[in-house]
Structures are given as structure tokens and as C-alpha cells.
Amino acid sequence: MAVRKLKPTTPGQRHKVIGTFEEITARVPEKSLVRGKKRTGGRNNSGQMTMRYIGGGHKKKYRFIDFKREKDNIPATVKTIEYDPNRSARIALLFYADGEKRYIIAPNGLKVGDKLMSGAEAAPEVGNCLPLKNIPVGTVIHNIELRPGQGALLVRSAGNFAQLTSREGDYCVIKLPSGETRKILSACKATIGSVGNSEHSLERSGKAGRSRWLGRRPHNRGVVMNPVDHPMGGGEGRQSGGHPRSRTGLYAKGKKTRAPKKASNKYIIERAKRK
């Protein structure tokens, strides 16, 4: 995966940096694994706007992704690498030996024709899914479960990866992309390798219209509002005093929002690095 910068033939092209899509091998998704995706425009069932700055956007189809990888010891072949409009990562279509088809998040280095396997007997190779207790210490992983059989919840976006650093009894110590180090039960599954499309962070939209294609309407800042509309509104000229906060008055940009007595706190060894 690489990015390309376009020539400034128009104002919208001047700062535009997009992916090359060179790794994508199919344009039409597998019909049995997609369904229509409805848009709300930020409105609830009575038509009231409950979420601001949402609306429009290109029509999408949702691709069902196999985050559980429970088809153990059944070999699968990578048939295609595809674009998914619902996530930053690419997806791969697997053809299993028993005839079933499933989508997975495409890891870095996966190619059409590669053979994949999941389960405790699988080799710790890129794209294979194993329980954490069967993965060698120091391995780069993604698609990590928090509870056995729940399906992957952590490390799923483009370019991300975690690292299995050590083992402590029934738990494995994982260093997450945020810098947080936490314990996860050894029976939970993870996929070997890092998530593909790692240059996604280098892309630049170049114009406001691309945000509208994604369904994002213009987002006006609190400091330009009046005091009746926002706690940070008002003032003479560009003056904006006080601590940054949300429209409802909750402090933003630095205030800790995690519950101090949350049950999972005991599994966290080191917190994420604060910027």
C-alpha cells in the first residue's frame, strides 16, 4: 500500500493525498456477505435531531466481518483483497475448504492465494488466528478478544498492532497501540501480524466535499457561538477564556473520564501515555 499526491490542477486537488488501491483485487463485494446500511441523518424515530453534524454521505453496504474466527482447523484460501467503506483497513475474502466464505480484516503482507488457519494447532504466521497461550512471546498481533469467544474488539484499525510481551499465570500481558499495558486471559484469540493499509494516516482529504461524502456535516466550534449556545461562547472579538468543555459543561481535553472503580482496572498494568 502506498499513497499518491495529485497535481494541483484544481484547489481541491492541491493538498489531496490518497491511497493507490494497488492491493485491491475485486470491485464488487461477495453478495452473500453484505446487506444494506440505513442512514439516520442524526435523527431519532420521531425525526428529532439527537446527534449534530451528521447527514448525507455516499450510500454504503455493510460487509459482515468474521471477528470470531471460530472455524478451527479448517484451511482457508485468500480469494480477494477488497475495499471496505465502513472501516480504514482493507478486508480479505476467505474460501474455506468446506465451501463457506467469510471476510476478515486484511493484515499487512497478506496476498491472494495465501493459506490461512485458525485454532490452537495453527502456525503463528501472518493472518492465522490462535489463542494467546499458543502465540510466542514478542509476537506482533491484532484483532484481540477481551473474553473467550466474544470476537475481536481491540486493534482493528489500519496500521495498528499490539505486542504480546509476557505471561503471568492464566493471563498474557499485551502492549496496546495507545501505550497501555494490560492483562488479557490466555484463552482469548488474536491474529498474527499488524493490520494492513498502514499508510492510511498519511492521507489528506484536500477539500470539504470529501467529508460530506463520508456523511459529516460542517462542525462549528463552541468558541464562535453565543453564551446561550455554548459554555465557551461569547466574549469580545476572538477572546475565549476558561477551560475547554463540551456543550453540556463537561470538561474536555485532558479530564479523565474513566470510572475510578471500574472492574477491569485490575487488569491494567500501565496506563496509556498522556500527550
Looking at residue 161, its amino acid is F
Mean pLDDT, residues 210-216 = 96
Return the pLDDT at 94. 97
* 241, pLDDT greater than 80: no
The residue range of the domain holding 14 is 3-200
In a domain, 266, yes or no: no
Segment 91-143, tens digit of pLDDT: 999 999 999 999 999 999 999 999 999 999 999 999 999 999 999 999 999 99
More confident residue, 164 or 234: 164
Looking at residue 242, what is its pLDDT? 77
Q: Per the domain annotation, does 136 fall within a domain?
A: yes
Q: In CATH, what number is assigned to the domain containing residue 127? A: 2.40.50.140
49 in any annotated domain: yes
Report the pLDDT averaged over residues 49-57.
95
Euclidean distance between CA atoms 255 and 71, whole angstroms:
43
Determine, yes or no, domain membership for 152. yes
**Is it the case that residue 256 has pLDDT exceeding 90?**
no
Q: Across residues 186-212, what is the average pLDDT?
A: 95
Q: Does some domain include residue 30?
A: yes
Flag whether 209 is in a domain: no
Which residues neighbour 1 within 8 Å (Cβ) at sequence distance 6 or greater? 19, 20, 22, 23, 90, 196, 197, 198, 199
The rounded distance, in Å, linking the Cα atoms of 265 and 121 is: 32
Q: What cell was used for 221?
A: 466550534
Our count of domains for the chain comes to: 1
pLDDT band at 275 (very low <50, low <70, confident <90, very high): low
Is position 137 within any domain?
yes
